[in-house]
Amino acid sequence: MSDGLIAKDQLRLFIERIERLEEEKKGIADDIREVYSEAKGQGYDPKIMRQIVRLRKMQPNDRMEMEAILETYKSALGLE
């Protein structure tokens, strides 16, 4: 088997793996949207829930720093 054929087969396998993963990612995104929709049906605000999910992903120190800066900006703009 030539190196060119091996490289083509390897490339095809990489592409097929990526395509499978992209399909799985789409399925997971659909599942997440469904959960937000269910929560909205129970009276929760999906926008706020998304913000909470983002905050929970952050390191505590990063979150505290962001919140302190946000408070500073809000105060400077009279939003307190």
Question: Are 3 and 36 members of one domain?
Answer: yes
Question: Are 53 and 71 members of one domain?
Answer: yes
* CA dihedral sign, ordered 66, 70, 71, 72: positive
Question: Are 6 and 28 members of one domain?
Answer: yes
Question: Are 38 and 1 members of one domain?
Answer: yes
* CA dihedral sign, ordered 53, 58, 63, 66: negative
Question: Are 33 and 51 members of one domain?
Answer: no
Number of domains in the chain: 2
Question: Are 55 and 27 members of one domain?
Answer: no
| Domain with 55 in it | 46-80
Q: Dump pLDDT digits (tens) for 16-61.
A: 999 999 999 999 999 999 999 999 999 999 999 999 999 999 999 9
Q: Is the pTM of this model over 0.85?
A: no
